[in-house]
C-alpha cells in the first residue's frame, strides 16, 4: 500500500508500506478520506511525535474484521479514532479523558494518510469506531474529530446562555466554534481575522459581527457592539503567543480565555496576576477530543445541525500530499484541506 512519510514540512514522501495484519478484535479499514489537521503542519509538534507517519482525521470502509468483532462487519462505512481512553483510571473518573495514560498510548496503525489502517482491539472496544449514517459522506465524517475538539473545548469554558463570545481566527476551527457557540446559547458572536474571505464565511456560519484587525481596532469595535464592555469568552484558535496576548485585552470582568491552538514548548506567556485576580479572569485549555464528543458531532451532523458546506476548500489525492500540506500550512486561502483516496 501507499503511505505518506513525513521528514519535514517541505519533505513529505509517498512510499510503499506493508498492509497491516489484523489480530483478534482488530479491524482493517480501507481509507476513503483523511483530513490535514493543524497539528500536522506544526513542525515542532511533528518532531515531538517522533514518527514518520501522520494523519488522524479518517473515514473509510471496513475491509476485514478480526475474530470476536461483533458490532462491525466488512463493508461498514466508519470514522475511526486514533486515541481512546480506558474510562476507568483516575483521570477518566474525573472526566479528564484525554489525560488518561491509555489515551496517550493507543493509536491506529500505521497512520491516517495510508491506504489501509488497522484499528486495534482496544480502540474498537472503547468507542474508537463510529458507523457513518447514510446521510453523512466520507468527507463530512472526516470532520468528526476536529469538530469534536472544538466541542470539548467550548464545554470547558462553561459558556452561559447569553454570553458574548469573541473568536480570534476564522479558519476551519474558528468557523466551527461559531456554530457550536450558537448552539450552546451564546448571545453575541464576534469574529476577528485578517482575511476578508474568512470573515465572509464567518457571517455565513452565524457570526453577528466580524472584524478585520488590519482595518479596525478590535477592542474598540467589540466595545461598540457589546454595550461598552469586553467579551465573556474569548476563543484563541491560532497557535500564537501574540494572539493570546492580544486576546487578554478583550476580556470582560469575570471573562474566560480559552486557548485552542497549542504553542511551542519553547514559548512563554507573560500575564499580570493582579489583573486576573481582581477581574476574576480565568484561562482554560482543551487537548484533543474523545468518542463522547465525536458521537455527539455525528448525531448533530446526521440531523443537519452543523453546516459543513464550504468548510472543505481543497481536495487532493495521496500523491499530492506535499502540496496539500503546504496549502494547509500557509492557511491564507484555505479552511480544511483533505486527501481523497478514491
Q: Which CATH number does the domain housing residue 179 bear? A: 3.40.50.720
Is 301 a member of any domain? no
Residues 224 and 249 in one domain: yes
pTM: 0.97
Question: Does the pLDDT value for residue 305 go beyond 90?
Answer: yes
Asked whether residue 134 falls in the same domain as residue 232, the answer is no
In a domain, 131, yes or no: yes
Give the residue-averaged pLDDT of 99-119: 97
Classify residue 291: in a domain, yes or no.
no
The CATH number assigned to the domain holding 58 equals 3.90.180.10
Residue 333 lies in a domain: yes
DSSP 37: P
According to DSSP, the residues that pair with 337 across neighbouring strands are 314
Both 135 and 34 in one domain: the answer is yes
Same domain for 231 and 119, yes or no, is no
3 state SS of 258: strand
3-state secondary structure of 225: helix
Number of domains into which the chain is organized: 2
Per-residue confidence band for 137, with pLDDT thresholds at 50, 70 and 90:
very high
Residue-averaged pLDDT of the chain: 97
- The rounded percent of the chain whose pLDDT value lies above 90 is 97
The strand pairing partners of 339, in sequence order, are: 34, 316
Range of the domain at 326: 2-143+308-340
The answer to whether residue 295 is domain-embedded is no
Per-residue pLDDT at 46 exceeds 90: no
How far is 188 from 110, CA to CA, in rounded Å? 43
Tell me how far apart the alpha carbons of residues 127 and 137 are, in angstroms, rounded to a whole number: 20
300 in a domain, yes or no? no
Residues 183 and 132 in one domain: no
Q: Does position 50 have pLDDT exceeding 80, yes or no?
A: no
**Which residues does residue 78 pair with via DSSP β-bridges, in sequence order?**
60, 131
Inter-residue contact 57 to 40 (CB < 8 Å)? no
Please indicate, yes or no, whether residues 87 and 116 belong to a single structural domain of this protein.
yes
Q: Are residues 31 and 154 in the same domain?
A: no
The reply to whether 202 and 81 lie within a common domain is no
Domain co-membership, 139 together with 186: no
Q: At what angle do helices 144-156 and 172-183 cross, to 10 degrees?
A: 50
Give the separation between CA 60 and CA 57, rounded to whole angstroms: 10
Average pLDDT over every residue of 105-120? 97
Which residues are within 8 A (CB) of 325 and not within 5 positions of it... i.e. 6 or more apart? 9, 12, 36, 40, 41, 337
Is 111 in contact with 54 (CB distance < 8 Å)?
yes
- Are residue 179 and residue 280 in the same domain, yes or no? yes
Q: Is residue 294 part of a domain?
A: no
Assess if residue 263 is contained within a domain: yes
C-alpha cell at 320: 499530492
Residues 161 and 281 reside in one and the same domain: yes
**Does 165 lie in the same domain as 136?**
no
CA distance linking residue 33 with residue 36, whole number of Å: 10
Amino acid at each position: 500500500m501507499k503511505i505518506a512519510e513525513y521528514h519535514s514540512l517541505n519533505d513529505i514522501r509517498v512510499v510503499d508500506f506493508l498492509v497491516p495484519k489484523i489480530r483478534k478484535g482488530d479491524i482493517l479499514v480501507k481509507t476513503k478520506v483523511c483530513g490535514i489537521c493543524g497539528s500536522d503542519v506544526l513542525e515542532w509538534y511533528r518532531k515531538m511525535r517522533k514518527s514518520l507517519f501522520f494523519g488522524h482525521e479518517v473515514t473509510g470502509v471496513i475491509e476485514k474484521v478480526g475474530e470476536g468483532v461483533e458490532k462491525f462487519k466488512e463493508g461498514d462505512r466508519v470514522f475511526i479514532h486514533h486515541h481512546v481512553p480506558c474510562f476507568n483510571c483516575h483521570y477518566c473518573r474525573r472526566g479528564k479523558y484525554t489525560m488518561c495514560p491509555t489515551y496517550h498510548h493507543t493509536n491506529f496503525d500505521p497512520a491516517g494518510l495510508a491506504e489501509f489502517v488497522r484499528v486495534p482491539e482496544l480502540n474498537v472496544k472503547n468507542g474508537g469506531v463510529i458507523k457513518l449514517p447514510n446521510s453523512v459522506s466520507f468527507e463530512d465524517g472526516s470532520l468528526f474529530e476536529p469538530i469534536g475538539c472544538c466541542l470539548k473545548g467550548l464545554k470547558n469554558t462553561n459558556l452561559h446562555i447569553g454570553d458574548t463570545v469573541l473568536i480570534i481566527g476564522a479558519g476551519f476551527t474558528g468557523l466551527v466554534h461559531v456554530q457550536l457557540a450558537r448552539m450552546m446559547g451564546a448571545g453575541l458572536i464576534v469574529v476577528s481575522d485578517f482575511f476578508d474571505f474568512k470573515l465572509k464565511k464567518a457571517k455565513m456560519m452565524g457570526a453577528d459581527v466580524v472584524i478585520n484587525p488590519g482595518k479596525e481596532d478590535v477592542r474598540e469595535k467589540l466595545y461598540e457592539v457589546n454595550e461598552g464592555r469586553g467579551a465573556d469568552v474569548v476563543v484563541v484558535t491560532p497557535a500564537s503567543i501574540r494572539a493570546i496576548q492580544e486576546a487578554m485585552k478583550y476580556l470582560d470582568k469575570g471573562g474566560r480565555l480559552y486557548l485552542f491552538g497549542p504553542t511551542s514548548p519553547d514559548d512563554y506567556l507573560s500575564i499580570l496576576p493582579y489583573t486576573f485576580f481582581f477581574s476574576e479572569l480565568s484561562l482554560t485549555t482543551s487537548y484533543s477530543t474523545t468518542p463522547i464528543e465525536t458521537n455527539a458531532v455525528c448525531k448533530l451532523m446526521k440531523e443537519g445541525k452543523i453546516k459543513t458546506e464550504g468548510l472543505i476548500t481543497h481536495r487532493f489525492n495521496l500523491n499530492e500530499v506535499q502540496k496539500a500540506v503546504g496549502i494547509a500550512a500557509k492557511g491564507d486561502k484555505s479552511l480544511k484541506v483533505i486527501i481523497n483516496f478514491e
